Chain A
Amino acid sequence: MKRRHMADRPEEEEAAGAGLLHRRAFLAATGALAGAAASGSASAESLAVESLAVEPWMTAPGSPFTAYGQPSRFEASVARAYANPPNAPGAGAARTPLHRLHGAITPNGLHFERSHSGVPDIDPDEHRLLIHGLVARPLVFSLESLARYPMESRIAFIECGGNSAALNQPEPVKANAQTLHGLVSCAEWTGVRLSTLLDEAGVDPAARFVLAEGGDAASMSRSVPIAKAMDDAMIALYQNGERIRPSNGYPMRLLLPGFEGNMQVKWLRRLKLVAAPVMTKDETSKYTLLQPDGTALQFVFPMEAKSVITLPSPDAMLREPGLYEISGLAWSGAGRIAKVDVSADGGRSWAEAHLQAPALSKALTRFRIAWRWDGGPAVLQSRATDESGNVQPTRDALLVRRDARALYHFNAITSWGVAPGGEVSHVYA
Chain B
Amino acid sequence: MTVEVRIPTILRTYTEGAKAVPGAGGTLGELFADLDSRHPGLADRLVEGGALRRFVNVYLNDEDVRFLGGIDTPVADGDDVTILPAVAGGAV
A and B associate in one complex: no
> Taking beta carbons and an 8 Å cutoff, which residues of B are in contact with A?
none
